[in-house]
Amino acid sequence: MDRAASGETAMEASSPKLLDRVRQEIRVRHYSRRTSRTYVGWIRRFIFFCDLRHPKDLGAEDVRRYLTYLAVERNVAPSTQNQALSALLFLYKRVLRIDLPWLDDVVRAKRKDKIPVVLTRDEIRRLLGQLDGTPWLIAALLYGSGFRLTEALHLRAKDIDFGRHQITVRSGKGDRDRTALLPSRLEIALRAHLDRAHRLHEDDLEHGSGWVELPHAIARKYPNAGREWCWQWVFPASRHYTDRDSGERRRHHLHESAMQRTFKLAVLKAGIEKPATCHTLRHSFATHLLEEGKDIRTVQELLGHCSVQTTMIYTHVLNRGPLGAKSPLDGL
């Protein structure tokens, strides 16, 4: 057995209670499952880095050494290093109840100002032309409403408001709610899709399932809400799973990786040479709105950005050259 495998076994044997405490503290604060997996993963890697010593026997110097290692040896992105720092600060402050001194000697990962990849309207048409069914509808929402992929997949039936032509994003990035545009051209397709999802849910109910995961304390306040149509995912997965705690047979929403694989193939078929991802459609949404003369504050609100400085990046990729300048060669 190699060192990694033996170390994994030793760690699980020596500190499962610690990781369980981390998960419990995360649940108490209503953090997402993604955050739980991410934090536990960073804490586990930190323990391995420190030769399987318990974090209570470590301190600020060990955290500083690990974060510097990530920046220097692993060459991680600044956001990745910050993610690791957040996980370790959560471990010490919320779980171990130990206050670490300010880590001012950490070597910070170098932040690169990257201009986002944006597709032209013609490239958007070609890309959507390579998709159909549910992937087409999801991609059209990413571009037409400016969603992040996870925001689109986390939509529930109650979040779609056809009467007001808007969609409510619940607990988006930063745990913030916002309203987004519901493109008129998608209403017929979205209604038809919801009808199919509703029939699937009714079939699940007839066969003793039909449950769905509920946010926070809703399940305790309304025990039967998990089987109501309004709480069901707009884009349900094709398979069921059994929840370990409740024993309920549920459907999860469509997994991000399924959409990402389909999208990548569509980009290749469309002959698009840019490194486009699902998130590129959100970038394109913002850029095209600014090209049409929409106010940057409006775009900021539609995207759910805390600061207008984040939205300002799209002014660098408008379809009229850097900073909106015209080349003098074009005037000859």
Q: Is the predicted pLDDT of residue 215 greater than 70, yes or no?
A: yes
pTM: 0.79
Q: Is the predicted pLDDT of residue 138 greater than 90, yes or no?
A: yes
> Is there a catalytic annotation at residue 148?
yes
The band of 282, judged by pLDDT with boundaries at 50, 70 and 90, is very high
Catalytic position from the list 158, 178, 279, 316: 279
Three-state SS string across the chain, please?
Answer: CCHHHHHHHHHHHHCHHHHHHHHHHHHHCCCCHHHHHHHHHHHHHHHHHCCCCCHHHCCHHHHHHHHHHHHHCCCCCHHHHHHHHHHHHHHHHHHCCCCCCCCCCCCCCCCCCCCCCCCCHHHHHHHHHCCCHHHHHHHHHHHHHCCCHHHHHCCEHHHEECCCCEEEECCCCCCCCEEEECCHHHHHHHHHHHHHHHHHHHHHHHCCCCECCCCCCHHHHCCCHHHCHHHCECCEEEEEEECCCCCCEEEEECCHHHHHHHHHHHHHHCCCCCCCCHHHHHHHHHHHHHHCCCCHHHHHHHHCCCCHHHHHHHHHHCCCCHHHCCCHHHHC
Catalytic position from the list 148, 154, 250, 283: 148
Q: Which pLDDT value is given to residue 10?
A: 42
Q: Which pLDDT value is given to residue 245?
A: 81
Catalytic position from the list 156, 250, 251, 305: 305
CA–CA distance, 282 with 172 (Å, rounded to integer): 14
> Is there a catalytic annotation at residue 305?
yes
Residues 177-199, mean pLDDT to the nearest whole number: 96
Q: Is the predicted pLDDT of residue 142 greater than 60, yes or no?
A: yes
Q: What is the pLDDT of residues 3-60, one digit of tens each?
A: 444 444 444 444 458 999 999 999 888 787 888 999 999 999 999 999 999 999 998 8
236 DSSP β-pair partners: 253
Residues 168-181, mean pLDDT to the nearest whole number: 88
- Could you tell me the end-to-end alpha-carbon distance of the chain, in angstroms, rounded to an integer? 72
Catalytic position from the list 250, 282, 283, 288: 282
Give residues with Cβ within 8 angstroms of 94, minimum separation 6: 25, 29
Percentage, residues of the chain above pLDDT 90 = 67
Most confident of 27-36, 156-165, 301-310, 323-332: 156-165
> Is there a catalytic annotation at residue 282?
yes
Q: Is the predicted pLDDT of residue 217 greater than 50, yes or no?
A: yes
Q: Which pLDDT value is given to residue 332?
A: 59
Average pLDDT of the chain? Answer: 88
Q: What is the pLDDT of residues 85-136, one digit of tens each?
A: 999 999 999 999 988 877 666 666 666 667 899 999 999 999 999 999 999 9
Q: Is the predicted pLDDT of residue 200 greater than 70, yes or no?
A: yes
Q: What is the pLDDT of residues 243-269, one digit of tens each?
A: 888 899 999 999 999 999 999 999 999
Catalytic position from the list 21, 45, 126, 173: 173
CA–CA distance, 194 with 128 (Å, rounded to integer): 20
> Is there a catalytic annotation at residue 279?
yes
Contact status, residue 186 vs residue 141, Cβ threshold 8 Å: yes
Q: Which pLDDT value is given to residue 9?
A: 44
Q: Is the predicted pLDDT of residue 315 greater than 60, yes or no?
A: yes
CA–CA distance, 250 with 288 (Å, rounded to integer): 39
More reliable by pLDDT, 29 or 180: 180
